[in-house]
Amino acid sequence: MLVYLFGAGITVFAQDVDKAVLNWYNTKTPGMNTEAAYKMVKKQTPKTVVVGVIDSGVDIEHEDLKGQIWVNEDEIPGNGIDDDKNGYIDDVHGWNFLGTSNNENLEYVRIYKNGKARFDGKTAEEISAADKADFALWEECRDKLQIESIEAKQELEGIQMLQEQLLPMLPTLVKGALGKESYTEKDLLKWKPKDDNAKQIRGLALMVETGQLSKERLDEGVKQYQDRLAYHLNPDFNGRTPVGDNPDDFSQVRYGNNDVEGADALHGTHVSGIIGAVRGNGIGGDGVAAPVRIMSLRAVPNGDEYDKDIALAIRYAVDNGASVINMSFGKSYSPHQKEVYDAMKYAEEKGVLLVHAAGNDAANLDKDPNFPAVRYAFQTEDLKNLLTIGASTRDAKGHLAASFSNYGSGSVDVFAPGFEIYNTVPDNKYRELEGTSMAAPMVSGVAAFLKAYFPDLSMFEIRDIILKSATPMGTTQQTLPGTDEQVLFSQMSRSGSVVNLQNAVKMAQAMSVSK
C-alpha cells in the first residue's frame, strides 16, 4: 500500500535538498560505502542486470533514468501484436496490471464487504463450524473499519482546523507572546513557555520555521485523509471495475495494459531512482547500481494491492529476465497467501532474488506480519531468495533505526538507508522521501551491483554476501521504533547490521576468485 505524509512512514519534502542529505547513503557507515565500492571495481567491465520494480508505476522518460529502463527486445512497439508470445501485447518496458485503475480499498475492507452478505447480523452461535474462522476474521475487519473510519475523520478535521484557523493566526500569537514584530528560529528556541497552550504554539511555529509544516504539506495531508475516507475505507467503492477481471480468479491472467507509468508514479519512480538513477551527472541523487535496467510492473494502487496482481507481477519479472525483484509495498491481510507464496517459490526455483520492504508501522514483524510475509503458516522452511529490509538513518548514535520502521529479530534480515532519501519523482523532478520503501531498493541496488560485477555468483550467494558483509551494529544501544526505549540493535533484525557495499565487494571478490 502507498500512503503519504503524516505518520505513515513516507514523507514528501521540498524540491530543494540539504547538501548533507544528498547521496548520504553512498558514503561511509551509516551509509553503504557505495563510492568506495565503485573504486574497487573500476577496472572491471560489468554486465547489465535487470531489476523488476513492482510498484505504482515508473516515469520511464525521466531525465535521470535515461538508458536505465528495460526494453523487451523481442517486442515490436505499438503494433498491437504479442511478438514474443509471452501473453502480453506490446509489453516493451514491463506491464501494468492495474490498467486505468488507481484508487483501491484496504484489504481488510475488501474482506469485510465480501463477507457481509454471509455474516452481517449473525451471531457466533448461528455460524457453522466450517465458517467460524471466516466469521471471526470478518468481525475483526468490521470492527477495524469502524474504528479507523472514525479516526480518519478526526484526523482530517484536525488538519483542516490547523490549516484554516490556527496557522493563519500563528504569527500573531507568537509575536504577542514574544513582544516582537518579527521573530526567527533562534528566537523560538530561546522562548521557554510555561503553559501547555504556549508550548504547543511554540512547537508549531518551530515546525513552520524549519519547513516541517507548510501549506503544501497540509494540503497533502488533507488529500491523504480524503482519499482514505473516499477510497481506502469506503466499502461502497470498487476500484477494480476499470480493470475488468475477477481478482479472486487466478486463471484470468490476461488483463491490464502496457502503460507502465500509470496515474501516480511518484513512489515507483523514486524507488527506481534509488536503484539505478544515472550516477555522477550532477542532477538529482545517484542510483546505487549503474549497470541496471529497470522493468516497471505496475501493481500497487493508492490503497492495498491485490494478491493476484503481485503473484502475476513476480512471475512476469522472473519469466522476462529479472535477476532481482524489488517489492516496496505491504499490507496486514492477505486472502490468497498460497498463490503469492507459490510465485515467490517460483522465483526461488529460477534463482531470482526478492527484496521486500519491512513496512512503516513501527511494529514487530515477529508478532504482526506484513504481507508478503517472511514466513507463512503453511511453510515448512524459509524462502532462500527473500530479504526483508528495515530502514536506517544517518544517526548511528541512538537513532539508527528510523522511528517508523518495522523490525523483528526473527523477521527483518538487515537494515539499509531509508530516511532522508533524495531521488527521482515524475516529470524530471526530485524529492526527499522516507520509508522502508526507500530502504528496500538500496538493497536491490546492492544486489544488482554485485551481480553486474560478479556474474558468476548466484543470487543465493549474493544474498548471503549482503547479510554477512553488512556493518555489525548489534551491540549498540538504539531507540526502538515507535518508543523511547533503548535496546540493542541486534533485537531489531536477524543480522543486527546495516548493508555495506564495500564489504560486500571484498567478500564477492574472494568468493569469485575461489570458483
Tell whether the model's pLDDT for residue 45 goes beyond 80.
yes
Contacts of 466 (CB under 8 A, 6+ apart): 387, 414, 443, 446, 447, 450, 499, 504
Alpha carbon distance 144, 147 (integer Å): 5
Mean pLDDT along residues 65-90: 96
Residue of 351 and 17 predicted with greater confidence: 351
Tell whether the model's pLDDT for residue 4 goes beyond 50.
no
Q: What is the DSSP letter of 480?
A: P
Tell whether the model's pLDDT for residue 348 goes beyond 90.
yes
pLDDT at site 320:
98
pLDDT at site 19:
81
Number of neighbours of residue 200 by Cβ within 10 angstroms: 12
SS3 494: coil
Note the pLDDT tens digit of each residue in 217-271: 899 899 999 999 999 999 999 999 999 999 999 999 999 999 999 999 999 999 9
Fold held by 24-104+239-513: Rossmann fold (3.40.50)
Alpha carbon distance 310, 396 (integer Å): 35
Tell whether the model's pLDDT for residue 11 goes beyond 60.
no
Closest CA to 501 of 26, 25, 32, 40: 32
Tell whether the model's pLDDT for residue 301 goes beyond 80.
yes
Tell whether the model's pLDDT for residue 305 goes beyond 60.
yes
Answer whether 388's CB lies under 8 Å from 374's CB: yes
SS3 160: helix
How far lies 115's CA from each of 141, 306, 425, in Å? 10, 17, 39
Alpha carbon distance 106, 7 (integer Å): 17
pLDDT at site 514:
76
List the domain boundaries for the chain: 24-104+239-513, 108-232
Rounded to 10 degrees, the C-alpha dihedral 362/365/366/368 comes to 90
Answer whether 22's CB lies under 8 Å from 444's CB: no
φ/ψ region of 305 (left if φ > 0, alpha if ψ in -120 to 50, else beta) reads: beta
pTM over 0.85: yes
CA triplet 104, 106, 110: central angle to 5 degrees? 90
Mean pLDDT along residues 463-469: 98
Residue of 30 and 10 predicted with greater confidence: 30
pLDDT at site 291:
94
pLDDT at site 2:
37
Residue of 30 and 211 predicted with greater confidence: 30
Tell whether the model's pLDDT for residue 10 goes beyond 70.
no
Q: What is the DSSP letter of 65?
A: G
Contacts of 283 (CB under 8 A, 6+ apart): 63, 64, 430
pLDDT at site 513:
78
**Mean per-residue pLDDT of the chain:** 94
Alpha carbon distance 17, 305 (integer Å): 31
Tell whether the model's pLDDT for residue 470 goes beyond 50.
yes
Assess whether the previous peptide bond of 30 is cis (omega < 30° from 0): yes
Instruction: Indicate the pairing of strand 429-433 with strand 421-425.
Output: antiparallel
Alpha carbon distance 200, 429 (integer Å): 34
Of the pLDDT bands very low, low, confident and very high (cuts 50, 70, 90), residue 326 is: very high
Note the pLDDT tens digit of each residue in 135-176: 999 999 999 999 999 999 999 999 999 999 888 999 999 999
Mean pLDDT along residues 282-311: 97
SS3 440: helix
Strand partners, 416: 391
Q: What is the DSSP letter of 457?
A: S
Tell whether the model's pLDDT for residue 3 goes beyond 60.
no
Alpha carbon distance 377, 383 (integer Å): 13
Answer whether 299's CB lies under 8 Å from 259's CB: no
Note the pLDDT tens digit of each residue in 417-446: 999 999 999 999 999 999 999 999 999 999
Tell whether the model's pLDDT for residue 285 goes beyond 70.
yes
pLDDT at site 515:
67
pLDDT at site 6:
30
Answer whether 271's CB lies under 8 Å from 326's CB: yes
User: What are the cell numbers at 513?
Assistant: 576468485
pLDDT at site 16:
62
Of the pLDDT bands very low, low, confident and very high (cuts 50, 70, 90), residue 125 is: very high
Using CA of residue 227, residue 275, residue 71, residue 85, what is the dihedral sign?
Answer: negative
pLDDT at site 14:
38
Answer whether 294's CB lies under 8 Å from 283's CB: no
Rounded to 10 degrees, the C-alpha dihedral 222/223/229/233 comes to -120
Cell numbers 491523504 correspond to 224
Tell whether the model's pLDDT for residue 17 goes beyond 80.
no
Answer whether 417's CB lies under 8 Å from 34's CB: no
